[in-house]
Structure 1
Amino acid sequence: MNNYDPKDRANIDAMASDAELTTLKRKVFDKACQHRYSYNFQWLGRPIIQFPEDIVAIQEIIWDTKPELIVETGIAHGGSLVLSASLLQLIGNEGKVLGIDIDIRPHNREAIESHPLAHRIEMIEGSSIDPSVVEQVKQFAQGKAPVMVILDSNHTHEHVLSELRYYAPLVPKGSWLLVFDTVVEHMDEDAFPDRPWGVGNNPMTAVEEFLAESDRFELDSEINNKLLLSVAPGGWLRCIKD
């Protein structure tokens, strides 16, 4: 611990290894999800559908790395796009946010495009793993550095693994690739009865396969260990090689 960064890494690691706390936070997380907890929050007027601790962690990463481009798969109401755009605005660089979604509903598009931070945001409608969409993203990313990627769309193993393989090459050493809803692997078998993902078929299983085949990324243990209520345990990936 020091005067410039008051957090205590040893204490963070001790907290993460506390078995009693791990059990308690799992119970709190599961109960909170029953009440659709992540739907309670907005960022600058747009529903963000994220847990507050994950929002804070994203803020820390963007502030530290100051990306020129943030690629986000999954748009929904646009709150995450606005979060990223607002931080880039504060940083003061020329950074942009590029959102991709297979279905951008007209009322959400209108709200995003009329937002005060719309000049920081671009959107592509289409599947994030459609080769033509991937090519558009690659073209948009040319000349922008660093690039950061946030994956939060279809949560099946094959979809997320494809996203990882397509978009990881855009992320340079020192930047980040965030994979959300890895927590699905730790939830009840019947938590998603109307979705094609679940235990054994989700972003966490995709991350595990991806990390086994790529040595460019590693799990950032500090962020992973310090968050109590997060939808992305094991999903905070830092690029460590060119």
Structure 2
Amino acid sequence: MSKTKLQNSINVLAQNFFIESVNQKYSYNFEWLGRPIIQYPQDIVALQELIWNVRPDLIIETGIAHGGSLIMSASMLALLDYCDAVKNFQIIDPTKPRRKVLGIDIDIRTHNLAAIEAHPMANYIEMIQGSSIAPEIIAQVYQRAKGNACILLFLDSNHTHDHVLAELKAYGNLVTIGSYCVVFDTVIDDIPVNIHKDRPWGPGNSPKSAVHEYLKSHSEFKIDKEIDDKLLISAAPEGFLKRIK
């Protein structure tokens, strides 16, 4: 079998697995340091690689849910702080982290808030409750982002085209050159519409359609297809956007 045919065969198998795994709620099986993360393992590994390589001072995340993604980002930032301290022969104070993750959600449930605030990584986490596309929330995020030399952005809240496009327009400018905006659940465009019958989004009205619309007028970003080719199974195909200028 040729390399191209083999790749196509693997892609088909990966797509079939993804569709069946969505039906089985596969992504709900996983936790990060004790909190449900609701992500595919391949995407978790990809985010780890991005955070390590980009070395952000601030990660902005829309969508909090149970807090697993915030905890994962916070733990990676803590590792970066630790490694910097080791390299520079410094002693770090974990109660005063240099790096932070900022989470935004329209409804931070009380039990999730309590669990996040009680977590050992809590010192690395800040949260804002409100719609990520509300002008007053956007203003708060921009104020918080001031003074950070490197910013990484994860979008994982409402998955409709209009909402994601509004988030991209609101926060895309905050992403620093060489860093990324990761748009989750672009895979909605690639799976059968009946899977989302109880949701306001679906093929053509999704994060992926928003990404394609945004890129028409924002050449400072490009889709990092090498990440897609490497992951094979991902909730964010064509959603890893690298800022190049």
TM over 0.5: yes
Identity fraction in percent = 54
What is the correspondence of 1:87-126 to structure 2 with a 5 Å cutoff? 87-92=76-81, 94-126=98-130
Please give the TM-score of this superposition, normalised by the length of structure 1: 0.92
Task: Specify the code of the residue in structure 2 equivalent to 1:115.
Answer: H
State which of 134, 141, 149 in structure 2 corresponds to 1:137: 141
State which of 216, 220, 226 in structure 1 corresponds to 2:224: 220
Name the SS for the 1:185 alignment partner.
helix
Residue 236 of structure 1 and its aligned partner are, at CA, apart by 0.4
Residue 188 of structure 1 and its aligned partner are, at CA, apart by 0.3
State which of 213, 221, 225 in structure 2 corresponds to 1:209: 213
Deviation track 1:23-81 (CA, whole Å, cap 9, x = no partner) reads: 11111111111110000000000000000000000000000011000000000000000
- Alignment length, in residue pairs? 228
Work out whether residues 15 and 21 of structure 1, in 8 Å CA contact, stay in contact via their aligned partners in 2. no
Unaligned 5+ segments in structure 2 are: 85-97
State which of 69, 72, 90 in structure 2 corresponds to 1:83: 72
State which of 46, 49, 56 in structure 1 corresponds to 2:45: 56
**Structure 1 Cα separation of the partners of residues 158 and 224 of structure 2:** 23
Work out whether residues 15 and 225 of structure 1, in 8 Å CA contact, stay in contact via their aligned partners in 2. no
Deviation track 1:128-177 (CA, whole Å, cap 9, x = no partner) reads: 00010000000000001201100000000000000000000001110110
Please give the TM-score of this superposition, normalised by the length of structure 2: 0.91
Task: Specify the code of the residue in structure 2 equivalent to 1:210.
Answer: Y
The CA RMSD over aligned residues, in Å, is 1.3
Work out whether residues 149 and 171 of structure 1, in 8 Å CA contact, stay in contact via their aligned partners in 2. yes
**Structure 2 Cα separation of the partners of residues 172 and 27 of structure 1:** 36
Is the alpha carbon distance of 1:57 and 1:138 closer, same or farther for their aligned partners in structure 2, counting shifts above 3 Å?
Answer: same
State which of 214, 233, 237 in structure 1 corresponds to 2:237: 233
Residue 17 of structure 1 and its aligned partner are, at CA, apart by 7.9
Deviation track 1:87-145 (CA, whole Å, cap 9, x = no partner) reads: 00000161100000000000000000010010000000000000100000000000012
Work out whether residues 181 and 203 of structure 1, in 8 Å CA contact, stay in contact via their aligned partners in 2. yes
**Structure 1 Cα separation of the partners of residues 149 and 100 of structure 2:** 11
**Structure 1 Cα separation of the partners of residues 119 and 33 of structure 2:** 9
Name the SS for the 1:190 alignment partner.
helix
Work out whether residues 156 and 184 of structure 2, in 8 Å CA contact, stay in contact via their aligned partners in 1. yes
Paired residue for 1:73?
A: 62
Residue 16 of structure 1 and its aligned partner are, at CA, apart by 10
State which of 120, 127, 130 in structure 1 corresponds to 2:131: 127
